[in-house]
Amino acid sequence: MEKIFETNEKPIANGSVPSSAVASMPFAPTVESDVPSQKPQPPADVLMESHPAPFGRPREFLGNRFVYAVISQRAYGLSIGINLNPDKACNFKCAYCEVNRDVPGRESKVDLGALRAELEDLLDLTFQGRLREIPYFHSVPDELLVLKEVALSGDGEPTLSQQFSEIVREVVHVRSGGRFPFFKLVLITNTTGLDLPQVQKGLKFLTSEDEIWAKLDAGSQEYLERVNGAGMSLDKMMANILLVSKQRPIVIQSLFPLLNGQEPPVEEIERYVDRLKDLKKCGAQISLVQVYSAHRPAHLPKCGHLRLRTLSRIARRVRMGARLRAEVF
């Protein structure tokens, strides 16, 4: 099978990190773009920290039921997560998923009172600078303990939660209560339920500073089923992305794994770029395309991390073919 990395080119890194250093760091975010990055980058010495590596760790629930924390390379630091799917409900079976669905979910629904209490407690620790009291954060550099987002995500697909609107409203109430500094909300979704009335209602609680990260890992139905085991069509995903991206700018999140030792074929990457072009042509507002690979241990052994050179070439095709800003992680 033809691979997309047959080249002598070296990936171009963000100006704050030497390319030679980035090439040896699988978890460090890099930027290749004609458009300047809008996000401040952590210093190079922070990104180089690798004993233990701050990125790529499993999520840490800290004894909570619904709220967890993780150091996220795509968030550029601390991400507090809200698990909208403690029942592990998801219509995708992604090869790179870290969730073990052989074990049933712990809860059938989210207790809003418990969620609020857990979120407030973790925000208190964060804004009071007390995260180092938790062993998970002992060796994490200070710069990566700055809260970058509160993510609506979890053990399944958040837009499939029957409580979606209620949960978003509860989190927004915590933010608007005046107890904490403003924090950004990020919905991380495979796009399935973006057109559902309860989800559309919940999205109205978001401000212009919040973000929606919508999944697009493939350019063809065949590859979508291979990577995502999707319980929906690619055309439906495209329609849902277009629906929301006409309402507000979104981020496209695209994870390209190494499957059974094979990289994505050139033809599939070209089809993927064509899909981005189609979205843009139809009026989609896409502020960023995230190109990355499987950083955390996948539940299925056949999935591995795609090397940086390959990811960089995919991002270059996005910029050149779709004329969109792209970042590599």
- Domain positions in the chain: 19-328
- The model carries a pTM of 0.84
Cα torsion angle, 131, 136, 139, 143, sign: negative
CATH T-level fold of 19-328: TIM Barrel (3.20.20)
Spatial distance between the Cα atoms of 120 and 83, rounded to a whole number of angstroms: 15
Spatial distance between the Cα atoms of 160 and 250, rounded to a whole number of angstroms: 19
Q: What is the mean pLDDT of residues 268-294?
A: 97
Q: Beta strand 326-328 with 30-31: parallel, antiparallel or unpaired?
A: antiparallel
pLDDT for the residue 57? 60
pLDDT higher than 50, residue 19: no
User: Which residues have C-beta within 8 Å of that of residue 250, sequence separation ≥ 6?
Assistant: 211, 212, 213, 214, 241, 244, 284, 285, 286, 287
Cβ burial of 197 (10 Å; 0-12, 13-18, 19+) is exposed
pLDDT higher than 60, residue 22: no
Spatial distance between the Cα atoms of 278 and 258, rounded to a whole number of angstroms: 26
Q: What is the mean pLDDT of residues 262-284?
A: 98
Query: Residue 132's pLDDT band (boundaries 50, 70, 90)?
Result: very high
Q: What is the mean pLDDT of residues 63-74?
A: 94
Tokens linked to 5? 């990395």
Q: Return the amino acid letter for 91.
A: N
**pLDDT tens profile 138-189:** 999 999 999 999 999 989 999 999 999 999 999 999 999 999 999 999 999 9
Q: What is the mean pLDDT of residues 194-205?
A: 98
| Higher pLDDT among residues 297 and 274, named by residue | 274
| Higher pLDDT among residues 98 and 128, named by residue | 128
Spatial distance between the Cα atoms of 87 and 96, rounded to a whole number of angstroms: 19
pLDDT for the residue 62? 87
pLDDT higher than 70, residue 18: no
